[in-house]
Each structure stands twice: as C-alpha cells, then as structure tokens.
C-alpha cells in the first residue's frame, strides 16, 4: 500500500437511500455502493473518509420526542456512529484492510458571524413557520425549514488521534462536519454549539491540509462544477486554477449551499499544499482522479 493519503469528502446523498427512503436496509445498500466506489483507492493508498449526514439528522429531527434542533450536537454524534460503523464495515470487507470510525469534534469561533445569521436548513419540511426559531421557505415555496448556524471550523480535536490511526487503518472521521464546540483555542471548558452544524467539506479540507494529504476528492451527485449550472447553456469546467475559481465564486457562479463550499474548500487545500483537489461524481471517482471527468482545481 502507498504511504500517500487521499481524503474523500463523501456527500450525504452518497450514503443515503435513493428517493428519500430511510430504512436501514436501504441505507446499507447505498453505503455498500459507495464502498464499492472507494475500494480500488483503499487498496492502493490510505483513506480518510469524511461523510455527510443531512438525511440521517433530518430523520432524527422528524422523530417524535427526539427531534430537538437545540440538540444538534447529540444528533451529529449519533449519526457519526451510525454511518461510521456502516462505512467501516463495508469498506473493510471489500478492501480487506482494517478500518476504524471515530466520533469527531471540531472547534469553531463563538464569535463567528454565522451564529448571528443562521442559514443552514435542517430537519423536515414544515407546513407552517415554526414559532421562536429561525426558518426559511423551501425553494418551491410550499413549506418551511428550520435554519441553524454553520460556522467555519478552525481545528479538529481528534486530529492527532486520526493521524495515529492512519498509520495502520483507513479512517472514517469528521462525519457531518463533526460535533461543533464553540471555543477558539482549546477544548478545555468548550461548550457544544447545540444549534449549529459544520460543513463537512470544510472539515475535509482542514484535515487534508493538516495531515499533508496527496489528494482531496469531493464526491457528489453531479458530474463536476459547471458554469451556468441548471440552464441550457451550462458547461462543465474540467480544470480551474485558484484565481479562476475565486473569480467564479465572486461572480456567484456556484450555489452557496452546494457547490460553493466544495470550491472554497478546494481552494484552501490547493493553496496550502500545492496539490490538486478534485470534484467528481459518485461512479466516476477513478476517472475524476485521472482528470478525464469531473473538475480539478490546481494552483
């Protein structure tokens, strides 16, 4: 096995059943498919997998007596255990290499402006605007969703544990962006940011940079980054230099809740390491890494 590290940011749709079903047998099947995609990588390089968890947290928030948006820290920890276990089992069986899943905490700045302007939708669609909670209308205008803060991560509490585990194992960590702790410099006395979630793409880039990864791959449900996405004139972007990516971000080319965080995170990694980052569709990771599909961000 190569000593090189590949960090994979696995989108929430890749570990969730199609068409919104949330039965565990369907979830196992979705995760098995994602593990099939990663098996060749896992046989040739060390993997650190950071996964999404939006649908699973949404399931918990919709459950009677469990759905508490003020306890997102617990919900993120719960789904890290659920998805980490299933991913570790599926990947270990296929790659025949040891895998371990780690419940992960991240530090965020308690003064981050995101706490004053929540924008991250969580939980199910509601028929009426919830009382006493920030909310936004759904894009189709037919309902409401609660929104919470999504502050930027600046440190991963378990970083050294992840580094040590990678010497012998593939690692699943930072699931759902990790449990957010609101403190700047140390975990001592840190309080959970109970109504906040962290974008898993930012955590993947943070870990990839800190661990000196050779590659950072964002696996999503579209074939790469696009100009004019969703319009008749849409064009895929095979390669972007950092300056080109920043120009497109400034021009609003990428959607804030989906592609923009991936491109922003990719820029951070590429600028810090001089190594490429790839945005690839589930089913096309190998060709994305070869540069024949997807989008590659380069210095």
* Candidate list 175, 200, 288, 294, residue with the active-site label: 200
Range of the domain at 247: 219-299
Same-domain check for residues 246 and 204? no
Give a yes or no: residue 124 inside a domain: no
Could you tell me where the DSSP H helices lie in the chain?
Answer: 24-44, 54-62, 72-95, 159-166, 200-210, 242-250, 259-273, 285-289
Please check the confidence at residue 1 and state whether its pLDDT lies above 50. no
Q: What is the mean pLDDT of the chain?
A: 90
12 noted as active-site residue: yes
Query: Domain containing 27 — which CATH number?
Result: 3.40.1160.10
Do residues 283 and 167 share a domain? no
Confidence of residue 295 (pLDDT cuts 50, 70, 90): very high
Catalytic-role residue among 11, 58, 262, 294: 262
Residue 288 is a catalytic residue: no
252 is known as an active-site residue: no
Same domain, 43 and 59: yes
At 14, the pLDDT band (50, 70, 90 cuts) reads: confident
Instruction: Quote helix, strand, coil % in the chain, to nearest 5.
Output: 40, 25, 35
pLDDT beyond 70 at 188: no
Output the CA torsion 73→100→187→80 (10° steps).
-10
Same domain, 224 and 292: yes
Looking at the structure, tell me whether residues 92 and 239 fall in a common domain.
no
> What pLDDT digit, counting tens, does each position of 43-53 carry?
989 999 999 99
Whether 142 maps to a domain, the answer reads no
Q: Does pLDDT of 124 surpass 70?
A: yes
Distance CA(270)–CA(263), nearest Å, equals: 10
Same domain (yes/no): 171, 86: yes
pLDDT of residue 187: 58
- The total of structural domains in the chain comes to 2
Q: Would the pLDDT of 141 be above 60? A: yes
212 counts as catalytic: no
The confidence score (pLDDT) of residue 262 equals: 94
Length of the chain: 299
Residue 32 pLDDT greater than 90, yes or no: yes
In the listed set 161, 194, 213, which residue is the last one of a domain according to the structure?
213
Residue 13 annotated in active site: yes
Q: Are 276 and 215 in contact (CB under 8 A)?
A: yes
Domain match, 172 and 65 both: yes
Identify the active-site residue in 120, 178, 224, 294.
Answer: 120
User: What's the pLDDT score for residue 2?
Assistant: 45
pLDDT value at 299 more than 90: yes
Is a pLDDT exceeding 50 seen at residue 34? Answer: yes
pTM for this entry: 0.91
| 139 within domain boundaries | no
Q: Are residues 208 and 251 located together in one domain of the fold?
A: no
Last residue of some domain: 166, 193, 213? Answer: 213
């Amino acid at each position: 096995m190569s000593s090189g590290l590949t960090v994979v940011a696995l989108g929430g749709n890749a570990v969730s059943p199609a068409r919104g079903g949330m039965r565990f047998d369907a979830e196992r099947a979705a995760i098995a498919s994602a593990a099939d995609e990663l098996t060749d990588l896992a046989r040739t390089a060390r993997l650190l997998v950071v996964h999404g968890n939006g649908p699973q947290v949404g399931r918990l928030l919709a459950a009677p007596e469990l759905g508490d948006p003020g306890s997102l820290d617990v919900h993120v920890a719960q789904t890290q255990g659920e998805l980490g276990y299933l991913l570790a089992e599926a990947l270990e069986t296929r790659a025949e290499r040891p895998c371990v899943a780690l419940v992960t905490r991240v530090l965020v700045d308690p003064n981050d402006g995101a706490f004053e302007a929540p924008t991250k939708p969580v939980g199910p669609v509601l028929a009426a605007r919830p009382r006493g909670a920030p909310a936004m209308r759904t894009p189709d205008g037919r309902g409401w969703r609660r929104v919470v803060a999504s502050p930027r991560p600046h440190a991963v509490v378990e970083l050294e544990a992840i580094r040590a585990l990678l010497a012998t194992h593939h690692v699943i960590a930072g699931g759902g962006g990790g449990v957010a702790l609101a403190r700047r410099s140390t975990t001592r006395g840190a309080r959970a940011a109970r109504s906040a979630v962290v974008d898993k793409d930012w955590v993947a880039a943070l870990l990839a940079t800190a661990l000196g990864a050779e590659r950072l791959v964002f696996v999503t449900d579209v074939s790469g980054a696009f100009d004019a996405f969703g319009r008749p004139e849409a064009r895929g972007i095979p390669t972007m230099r950092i300056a080109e990516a920043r120009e497109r971000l400034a021009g609003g080319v990428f959607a804030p809740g989906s592609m923009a965080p991936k491109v922003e995170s990719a820029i951070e990694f590429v600028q810090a390491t001089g190594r490429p980052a790839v945005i690839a569709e589930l089913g096309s990771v190998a060709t994305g890494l070869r540069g024949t599909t997807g989008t590659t961000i380069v210095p």
